Amino acid sequence: MDFQVVVLAGGFSKKLVPLVSKEVPKALLPVANRPVLSYVLELLEQSNLKDLIVVVEGEHAALLVGGWISGAYVDRLHVEVAAVPEDIGTAGALRAIAHHLTAKDILVVSGDLVSDVPPGAVAAAHRRHNAVVTAMLCSAPVSGPAESGSSGGKDKTKKAGRYNLIGLDRSKQFLLYIATGAELENDLRIQKSILRAVGEMEIRADLIDAHLYAFKRTVLQEILHQKDTFQSLKEDLLPYLVRSQLVGPHCMLGEGSQMGDKCSVKRSVIGRHCRIGSNVKIVNSIIMNHVTIGDGCSIQGSVVCSNVQLQERVVLKDCQVGAGFVVIAGGEYKGESLAKKEK
């Protein structure tokens, strides 16, 4: 299927002390007398996903995990064990090994996932929808997700901050909104552009993220490079992609293009690998490939050719902008043709 698989196996997790030790990292903790990592590896093997990068925090933990895999899965899987620094988060771990990713699509799975859903089914759904990202969600336990450091008790399950809010379309196939417990406030804010595009959204509080994702590689690598402050896949990268996926009715968004917050795009075509800042309005326009649009720009009834740079707060109405042209910040143009002067 031309998928690479990244297994995020953790390291010597401080949260699991004293269960983990210098000789038993998180990935090798026994579950039903088997290292927890074995469940994921065998699921992947059953789906014929055998090209794996197992990412481990810390050199010593990586040596232990690599040694176990070599003995248990010799001639069964093609596994590269990559050591990354500790405490850099899931997005940071992917960023550290991003240069090793070469396949069209990347499957990212937590090393402690025990599931009866074949990862191959998630990969197939990702390909079927030609998605930028696909996430697997599952029903939350009746008692609610475990809270780190808590000793249990009925009162713990009533804390709203421990739940995720998930927004789905009518078909329950498209992820429209996601907020983690730490982000939840009294007021729930939904982008109007999303509601206009889908008509109806179902908000669920009974689903949890299973930490199994499929990404389009080019988009994943670009976001990890540009958003170097992102540390968590669940809390940073996934919500960013969900916010960026809908660009308004009757629109087309090319591969690798990204949009900032609070953008409005209507009846327009956006080319490939464009960078669109925050608070940008685009109406009845064509934006070709590799265009950079700064924050606060307004474009209406215009054609912007490839490799153009619009700096901040540019206003274009009924204009044509030639390839490679740079429009200086704050410029306002109406009914004009902007192009480089020929030498």
For 231-245, how does the pLDDT look when each residue is reduced to its tens digit (9 = 90+)?
999 888 988 888 766
pLDDT score for 197:
62
Q: Do residues 274 and 257 make contact, with C-beta atoms less than 8 angstroms apart?
A: yes
Q: What are the DSSP calls for 207-236, one per residue? A: EEEEEEEEEEHHHHHHHHHH-TT---IIII
pLDDT score for 196:
63
Q: Do residues 107 and 54 make contact, with C-beta atoms less than 8 angstroms apart?
A: no
- Which amino acid is present at 134? T
Q: From 14, 2, 8, 22, select the one nearest 81 (Cα to Cα).
A: 8
pLDDT score for 87:
86
Task: Give per-10-residue mean pLDDT for the chain (343 aa).
Answer: 87 77 85 92 90 93 92 87 92 94 93 89 88 86 48 40 74 80 61 67 85 90 87 88 69 78 83 90 93 96 94 95 94 92 68
Sign, CA dihedral 24-117-239-98, equals positive
Q: Do residues 219 and 256 make contact, with C-beta atoms less than 8 angstroms apart?
A: yes
* Alpha helices, DSSP H, located in 31-130: 36-46, 59-72, 89-96, 119-128
Q: Do residues 339 and 321 make contact, with C-beta atoms less than 8 angstroms apart?
A: yes
Q: Do residues 165 and 178 make contact, with C-beta atoms less than 8 angstroms apart?
A: yes
For 159-213, how does the pLDDT look when each residue is reduced to its tens digit (9 = 90+)?
444 567 888 888 787 888 887 765 555 566 676 666 666 678 888 888 888 899 9
Within 8 A by CB and 6+ apart from 16, the residues are 26, 29
**What's the pTM?**
0.67
pLDDT score for 150:
36
